[in-house]
Amino acid sequence: MSPGLAVAAVAASVTFAVVGAAVLIRPPRRLGPRIRPYTTVTRVSLGLSPDILGQANPGPVFGQATIRRLWSPMLSGPLDRLAQMLLFVDEGRLELRLRQAGLYPDVEEALRPQAYRMGALLRVVLFAAGASGLALVAGSSGGRVLLFGLVGAALGVFLARSRLAEAVRRRRDAIRAELYTINQLVAMYTRVGGGALEALRYVAERAHGTAVEEVSEVLLLHERGWSLGDALERAGRLTPEPEAARTYRLIATCQEQGADLAEALLGLSKDLRSVRRDDMRRRAAKRRILMVIPVVVILAPVTMLFLAAPIPSIVFGG
């Protein structure tokens, strides 16, 4: 291996290790900021300084402090545009998918696409550097190193998109599992004389889950001035589960037209139970097929070898 390739291999390996550590390992919280409020009075009573510099300290150099505040305004724009080019996802659709996936709940909704793209770009760099480093260590040529880097980058993009799709699927399954119970609770509450709004409040106060979070958001919008029908229509547009959207629109329609909400929800619950039963049957059939694959791939050839082993001696004698 030439000296240039050796240096490049070492640089790629170091980049791979640093980026991997930044992604997988979180720095521990320092003890000083946590105990400083309890030690300030004692320090002053002993005639020492109140540790003002420690309170004014912006924090660790890496992470949420100095370097990020200095370099983030200069690098966030170009890196975000690069991530947009790599992911090929529309801004509005990405924002909707992130909301449906429930990712980055502590980040402002308008900033979630940028946070997702930065994480995806970091994963792309990690896989590209790792693949290029492996190719360099193996002594490959420059073209193969570049090819391995492109393959690693493509793998990083695929994993970023699959992570988002998997998060949406898990959230959809959670909503579908909770929706039958919510429909039954709302139907029972309205059957005894309560309204749709009081029934939703009853569910939000006594239940927990992904679907309950959507119901709580509907109630929050209603308290801020939205009509219940508009809030439910918005929830139906944003939810990842079609049956939940159907439920929200049904409640909104019955609320506006004065129809029998309990009877409609009970009928919708029956349909939802049938859909879930059919879905479970399909999953069970797929798993039965997957259970047969090891038998066919591993045990069947071994069995055939045992059966065919005495054939030559029988045919030719021996």
Same domain (yes/no): 233, 185: yes
Same domain (yes/no): 261, 187: yes
The count of structural domains within the chain is 2
The pLDDT tens digits of the residues spanning 88-107 come to 777 788 888 888 888 888 77
The pLDDT tens digits of the residues spanning 140-155 come to 777 888 888 888 888 8
Asked if pLDDT for residue 11 goes beyond 70, the answer is no
Q: Return d(Cα 290, Cα 53) in angstroms, integer.
A: 62
Same domain (yes/no): 155, 197: no
Same domain (yes/no): 85, 7: yes
Same domain (yes/no): 128, 10: yes
Same domain (yes/no): 7, 106: yes
Last residue of a domain, one of 170, 190, 222: 170
| pLDDT for res 57 | 44
Same domain (yes/no): 198, 236: yes
Which of 189, 195, 237, 193 minimizes the C-alpha distance to 214?
A: 237
Q: Is residue 304 a part of any domain in this protein?
A: no
| pLDDT for res 56 | 43
Last residue of a domain, one of 104, 136, 170: 170
CA angle 7, 11, 16 (to 5 degrees): 150
| pLDDT for res 60 | 42
Which of 148, 241, 135, 259 minimizes the C-alpha distance to 195?
A: 259
Same domain (yes/no): 88, 203: no
Q: What tokens appear for 248 in the block?
A: 């929200």
Q: Is residue 250 a part of any domain in this protein?
A: yes
| pLDDT for res 143 | 81
Q: Is residue 300 a part of any domain in this protein?
A: no
Burial class (CB in 10 A: 0-12, 13-18, 19+), 186: buried
Q: Is residue 287 a part of any domain in this protein?
A: no
Q: Return d(Cα 96, Cα 102) in angstroms, integer.
A: 10
Residue 258 gets the label, from left (phi > 0), alpha (psi -120 to 50) or beta, of: left
Asked if pLDDT for residue 49 goes beyond 70, the answer is no
Last residue of a domain, one of 137, 170, 203: 170
| pLDDT for res 59 | 44
Q: Return d(Cα 106, Cα 117) in angstroms, integer.
A: 16
Q: Is residue 127 a part of any domain in this protein?
A: yes
The pLDDT tens digits of the residues spanning 231-244 come to 999 999 999 998 89
Which of 222, 225, 278 minimizes the C-alpha distance to 251?
A: 222
Same domain (yes/no): 12, 116: yes
Residue in the block written with tokens 């239940």: 207
Q: What tokens appear for 81 in the block?
A: 């545009």
Same domain (yes/no): 42, 163: yes
Across the chain, mean pLDDT equals: 78
Which of 129, 125, 103 minimizes the C-alpha distance to 114?
A: 103
Same domain (yes/no): 250, 271: yes
Q: Return d(Cα 263, Cα 191) in angstroms, integer.
A: 8
CATH at 237: 1.20.81.30
Please check whether residue 51 is in contact with residue 36, taking contact to mean a CB–CB distance below 8 angstroms. yes
Which of 13, 17, 6, 2 minimizes the C-alpha distance to 132?
A: 13
Q: State the amino acid at position 189 in one-letter form.
A: Y
The pLDDT tens digits of the residues spanning 279-293 come to 888 888 888 888 888
The pTM for the full model equals 0.65
Same domain (yes/no): 239, 261: yes
Residue-range definition of the domain harbouring residue 260: 173-275
Residue in the block written with tokens 């640093």: 18
Q: Which DSSP letter does residue 211 get?
A: H
Q: What tokens appear for 199 in the block?
A: 């029934």
Instruction: Determine how many CB atoms are found less than 10 A away from the CB of residue 239.
Output: 23
